[in-house]
Structure formats: structure tokens, C-alpha cells
Structure 1
Amino acid sequence: MSIDPSLYLAAVPAVILVGLTKGGMGEALALMGVPILAMVVPPVQAAAILLPILVASDVVSLWIWRRHNDRRTLQLLLPGGIIGIGLGWATSAYVPRDALRLIIGIITIFFALRYFYGQWQIRRGIAVPPKPHRAGPAAFFGTLAGYGSFVAHAGGVPFQVYALPLKLPPRDYTGAAVRYFAILNAVKLVPYFALGQLDTAHLTISATLAPIAVAATAAGGYMVKRMKPDVFYPFMYTMALLAGLKLAYDGVALLV
């Protein structure tokens, strides 16, 4: 694949959005990365270009959030995530990606709207306690996150559906999310190489864009670390709602 210099007109803003997400700014920003880049290259190539950039950003975000984590969240979600990647590798040629986007989008829209309904209940004096860890939902959403991450870089939304209702301290939530997707992205390198998606041309483009992603990741981490819980959670649910709407729209538009 020859490198068209005009590709960078789309790639730079896409990578900035992905980097901000890796810093902790919410999945909705990252979901714009592949579509923006797909305006100038095929979607499969866009995903292949972004994967090494995601891995580079993971290194920075792991350092930024190295002191924060929720080990139980990671323990429960990670096995499903690995299984989901395996399922994605085995079945991605047979399962329409647009149908997956639509399903994840609809789940996320209802999930976010439920949160805002809960906030309305709180204003009426009705308490909404944090949800406990549950092995069954963790396995389901962890697997969906791994599968969505492999086929469409859309794994953050299922992670949010499980983890946000736990109402963890914002820094612990972000630390767990950073670790979870850093591991998944590292694992995804193997099947992407096996499928021939990480060729020299793709890796060259990724390498030139990685410094921009690293800077955006640091900026995203700086902003999120300064958010109070009463700002962080409404922001994250709003971003989840936007992500759900974007996924649902893409799924419907490309299936009809």
C-alpha cells in the first residue's frame, strides 16, 4: 500500500481522539477514530493502522495510572476479554461487524439512559446504591468487550456497561480500564499479525502518528485526574451515551 500524504489530514485528528480516550476521556472519542481514518483508507486498514498506536498509547496510560487500579474488576473481566478476542479471530469473517455495532450501541443507549433516570431518582431522594461485582455479567460483558475490541475497536462500551455501575473511585476505575485494554491490545497483535494486517506500510504510518497519540494520551490523563466524582461520572455516562448512539447509527446505516 502506497502512502498518500493526504491520509494524514484524517489520521491526525483520529489519533488525537484515540489518545484522549486512552488518557481516560471516554469511549465516544475513540469510536470516532476508525470512521475518520476510514474516510481515506478501507476500514480494515484503518483498524490495522490504529492498533500499534493504541499499544503505544497504552504504555503511556499505564505509566500515568500506575498507582490506581481495581484488581477485582480486572480479575473478573479479563478472562472473558481474552476469550472474546479468540472468538473474534475465529468468527470475524462470518459475523457482520455492523450488526455487532448495532447490538452494542442499543445496549449502551439503554444503559446510559438508565443512569440518567437514576440521577433523576436521586434528585427525588431515592438512593441508587453501587452494584456489587457479579461473575456472570462480568463474564458476558468481558467477552463482549474482547470481541468488540477485536473486530471493531469497540470494546470500551461493554466494559463501561459493567464497570461504571460499580461506582468505583474515578482513578481506580480508569486504572482498571487502562490495564484491561492494554492487555487486550497486546494480545490482539498476535491475530492481527497472523491475518497479515500489520505490514510494513501500515506500521510505517502508525510509527509516524504514534508521537501525536502519546501527547494526546498524556493530555487526557491530566484532565481526568483532576475531575471530581460528581463531574467524572456524568461525563463518562454522557460519553457512553454518545458512543452508543454512534455505534447504533453506524450499524443501522450500513446494514440497510
Structure 2
Amino acid sequence: MTFDFFLVALPAVLLTGISKGGFGGAFGGLAVPLMALVLPPTQAAAVMLPILCMADLVGLKRFYGKWDVRNLKIMLPGALLGVLIGSLTFGVFSERFVGLLLGAISIGFVLINALVDRAAAQVAEPAVGKGTLLSAVAGFTSFVAHAGGPPVMMYLLPQHLEKLRYVATINAFFLLTNAIKLIPYAWLGQFSVDNLLASLSLVPVVVVGVWLGLWLQGRVNHLWFYRIARLGLLVTGIQLIVQNW
């Protein structure tokens, strides 16, 4: 890997770790688009997958048992369906199309919420239909570009879960989803020696990022936590639009 690769990859992976450890992956969708500036998008996704798995494992001890089981029972079947669709349609949908669609949905979600009086808005409850659909979208977009965060946030944010439960639920969701993605990624020949070595070289960075995210999470109150999460969703959406336009 070149100097340009590490110049982009180091901050991207550090931000991914901070996001996963402290803010439910709010900024995690930025990593692959940033790395795609110096690598082909499919290679960038292949390099990132082992790193994401490591980030999920590092945060597991902190989040173990804190997740919302009711939501996970709704979300995980949808994620499996999305990953399956992504595997079977690999190469059919362009990453540009997926990025533009996901970016538009993300921005729309944030803008709609900004128009609602949040003080008067009713807190949403777990819903099988909505949860399964958005989780399937998350599984698909996660397979294509590791950009599954926005659909999951769209489902969970309106529930106003306690912040630790919110982050723990997202951690558990992607811990299992990313582990499952390893199988089709290997089957499709995405784990070359060069890609695996690049992933290995970035593992210490993501570990530091997760620890930093865990430290920050405990120092951000509930209101600002959700403001940061929505800001992350908006920034990710804008970045996806700009990157794929």
C-alpha cells in the first residue's frame, strides 16, 4: 500500500473506531468512501471488513448484555436477507447508485425530523415491518459499501433509547452482520493477501479509536448524544451524495 493510502486510511479508520465505540456508527459510513479516493471501491470495502469486525469485538465487553433484545429479534432476520441479496447481486448494482440512494434517504430522514417538534413527537416503538425493511436495506448497503448505519439509525433513533442501549444494540447488530459478511466476501475472492495485510496494519488504529469513542460516550449527555448521531447521519448522507454524484 502507498503513502497516499495510509494518509487517507489512518484518519478514516480512527474515525470509524470512535464512531463505533461511542456514537453507534454515526460517522462510520465515511470510511469506505474516503478510502475509495485512493483504492477501487470494492477493494476499499474488502480492506475495511476485517477492521470493522475487530472494532465490533473490541466494543463487545463494554456493550455485552446492554442491547435491546426485542429490537434485535426484529432486525437480524432483515439483515440476513439484505446480505443475501447483496451477495447474489454482487456487481449488478453500481456502488455509485447505492451511494446516491442511501445519501438521499439519509438526508431526507434528518430534514423530516428537523421539521417535527421533537418535544411533542411521540416516541416510536419497535415495529416488525419497519424494522425488518430498514434492516434489510442496512444488510444490503452494508454488504455493498459498509454503509448500513443510516438505515439502522433511521429505525432506532425515533425510539429514543437510552444512549448505552442504543449503541449496544447497533454494536450487536453489526457484530453479527459483519461476521456473516465474511463468508460471501471470501467466496467472492475479496480477501487477497494485499488486502488482508492492509487490514492488519490498520487494526491498532481502530482499537485506539474504539477506546477513544467509549471514553467520549460517557462524557456526552443524552440530548447532545442524539444531536451528534443525527449530525453524523446528515454528514454521511451529504458525503455519499458528493462522492457518488
Do Structure 1 and Structure 2 share a fold, with TM-score over 0.5? yes
Aligned equivalent of 2:17: 19
> Aligned letter for 1:30?
G
Structure 1 stretches of 4+ moved >4 Å: none
The one-letter code of the counterpart of 1:175 is A
Q: Does 1:158 align with 2:151?
A: yes
Q: Partner residue of 2:51?
A: 53
Q: Is the CA contact (8 Å cut-off) linking 2:59 and 2:171 kept in structure 1?
A: yes
Aligned counterpart, 2:227: 234
Work out the number of aligned pairs and report it: 245
Q: Which runs of 5+ in 2 are unaligned?
A: none
C-alpha spacing 1:85/1:200, structure 2 compared with 1 (3 Å): same
Contact 2:24 2:167 in 1 (8 A): no
Match of 1:32 in 2: 30
**For residue 70 of structure 2, what is the aligned residue in structure 1?**
72
Q: Secondary structure at the match of 1:93?
A: coil
Alpha-carbon distance, 1:13 to partner: 1.2
Alpha-carbon deviation of 1:26? 5.1
Counterparts of residues 139-218 of structure 1 (less than 5 Å): 139-218=132-211
Q: 1:227 Cα shift?
A: 2.0
Does structure 2 conserve the Cα–Cα contact (< 8 Å) formed by 1:102 and 1:247? yes
CA contact (8 A) 1:28 1:242 kept: no
Secondary structure in 2 aligned to 1:68? coil
Deviations 1:7-66 (A, max 9, x none): 222221121111112113354532221122222221111111111111111111112222
Contact 1:27 1:243 in 2 (8 A): no
The sequence identity of aligned pairs, in percent, is 34
- Measure, in 1, the Cα distance between the counterparts of 2:73 and 2:201: 35
Counterparts of 2:223 and 2:37, CA distance in 1:
37
In the aligned structure 2, how far is the partner of 1:53 from the partner of 1:153?
Answer: 11
Distance in 2, matches of 1:192 and 1:97, equals 16
**Aligned 8 A contact 1:132 1:166 in 2:** yes
User: Computing the radius of gyration over CA atoms, which structure comes out larger, 1 or 2?
Assistant: 1
TM-score, normalising length from structure 1? 0.90
Q: Is the 8 A contact 2:20 2:26 kept in 1?
A: no
The CA deviation at 1:5 is 4.4
- Amino acid in structure 2 at the alignment position of 1:87: I
5+ residue gaps in structure 1? Answer: none
Q: Which residue of 198, 202, 213 corresponds with 1:220? A: 213
Paired residues for 1:105-124 under 5 Å: 105-119=103-117, 122=119
